[in-house]
Amino acid sequence: MPKSRVTQNWVKAFRKAIKQTCPVGWTVINDRGRVRVQIGKRGDIQSINLPYSWSEEDWIDAYKRIEVAANIYLEHHQNIDIKNAFQIAASASNKIELNWEEAINEFRSYKTRVKDSTWKSKYKPVLDRVLEALSGKSKPINGLQLCEVVLDQWVKGTSQRRHMRLALYGLLNYCVHRRDFPSLWLPPAMSDDEIVTKTKRVGYPLTDSQIIRLIDGLPDTDIGKRWKFGIQLMAVYGLRPEDLREVYTKKNGEEIWTDYRKSKGGRKGEKTEPRKLLPIWVLDTDGTPADWNYTLKARIAAGESLPPLGKQGRAGGAIGTYLKRQKIWQTLKAEAKQERENLTSYSFRHRFAYYGHNRPQEDGMYRAPKKIAEAMGHQYETHLLSYARFDSKDLAQSFDQHPVEIK
């Protein structure tokens, strides 16, 4: 029996690249050890032999020449002879050298808003892989192959891979649109399996009794009093840790505001507006507001010192570092763990959201979710995504609350 021929992998890659980037009808064949390009169908075939051997070593250079000629062919609306297209391409195609290292350096200069620390953690790892891949033996020949090779070391669906993919796609778009790299280096469309599958952690809302136990359990030192003050503000007004830096009063101390501007997710350059803070009192064990609720505005107006919050953007970490050293915090953390929840510096803000949705106002009515969102500085849709589980009172009321006697 005659032996079946097995097409080598590089030949498959060569023909696949031609099919993806050249006009319909273009193909390559082995003509006595040389690369031959054919276009057209039976009875109307044009062809040309190229000065490249039919080999794994030469096929990438041959492909670069073909890609340039194909673009020229298309620019002439396919009304040019194939030999003329290759003659025009000959002076440039085989001399094209893509300087990736220089392109990456220029891309770094172009990304003026990216901090050095961000570049080091979210750009450099994947861009170093680009240089490795393009200096290897089996070099990628287009954006699709480069992305497949370079991103392979990061697990699909993870945030880390997402950061690497965004950096790589950014580089490729920059190279094609600003450095005139051939369009075949454009990145592919994102597939469904690239979607980040990170599960958003739902925060644990401290109860009022836990807040009071925490405040009572902190040391009565100068620094301890400052931390108590910060915790009281976060719990009563639903503050983010960073909000504490920007708390101030207006209208002769009648109103309390925060000027912290948080970036709006997915909206470049947009930030939240300053907001007036509205209270949801922390109630004592007898159901009446703890005395200190009413003094918070006056203490802000008087300039009482808040706790040290560290560098900008690190307030949550500063709060967590202080509290984890306190025995009462460890006790509360254990209580949260029993409920399969995680106690964090945002649990004071979650407390505000929980009671906002579930504690009736003085008139017996419940607050509209949109009002709670506004008080917390949220877009309504964002609030529902993060805090919808706290708005469960209507669901609970739809089911039996007390044992029913069956007759």
DSSP string, 304-317: PPPPP--STT-HHH
Consecutive sets of 10 residues in the chain, 407 residues long: mean pLDDT of each? Answer: 66 91 90 89 81 85 85 82 78 62 94 92 94 84 86 84 92 88 77 55 85 96 96 95 93 91 57 88 92 93 94 90 95 93 92 90 84 80 65 57 56
Give the per-residue pLDDT at 267: 41
**Residues 215 and 209 sit within 8 Å (Cβ to Cβ):** no
* CA-wise closest residue to 258 among 245, 272, 240, 246: 246
Per-domain boundaries in the chain: 9-95, 100-194, 208-393
- Alpha helix locations (H) across 269-392? 296-301, 315-323, 327-338, 347-358, 369-375, 380-387
User: What is the predicted pLDDT for the residue at 94?
Assistant: 40
Which residue type occupies 287? G
Closest by CA to 280, choosing from 232, 346, 345, 347, is 232
- Spatial neighbors of 22 by CB under 8 A, at least 6 apart, are 66, 67, 70
- Amino acid 392 reads S
Whether 262 and 273 have beta carbons less than 8 Å apart is answered as no
Q: Is 402 exposed, middle or buried (0-12, 13-18, 19+ CB in 10 A)?
A: exposed
Q: How far apart are CA 373 and CA 371, in angstroms?
A: 5
**Spatial distance between the Cα atoms of 226 and 233, rounded to a whole number of angstroms:** 11
d(CA 77, CA 64): 20
Which CATH number describes the domain made up of 208-393?
1.10.443
Q: What's the chain's length in residues?
A: 407
* CA 103 to chain centroid: 25
DSSP label at 378?
Answer: -
Reported pTM = 0.52
Q: Number of helices and strands (H, E) in the chain? A: 17, 6
DSSP for 204-268, please give it: PPPPHHHHHHHHHHS--SHHHHHHHHHHHHHHHHT--GGGGGGEEEETTTTEEEE---PBPTT-T
C-beta atoms surrounding 324 within 10 Å: 12
In sequence order, what are the residues at sequence separation of 6 or more whose Cβ sits closer than 8 angstroms to the Cβ of residue 308?
226, 318
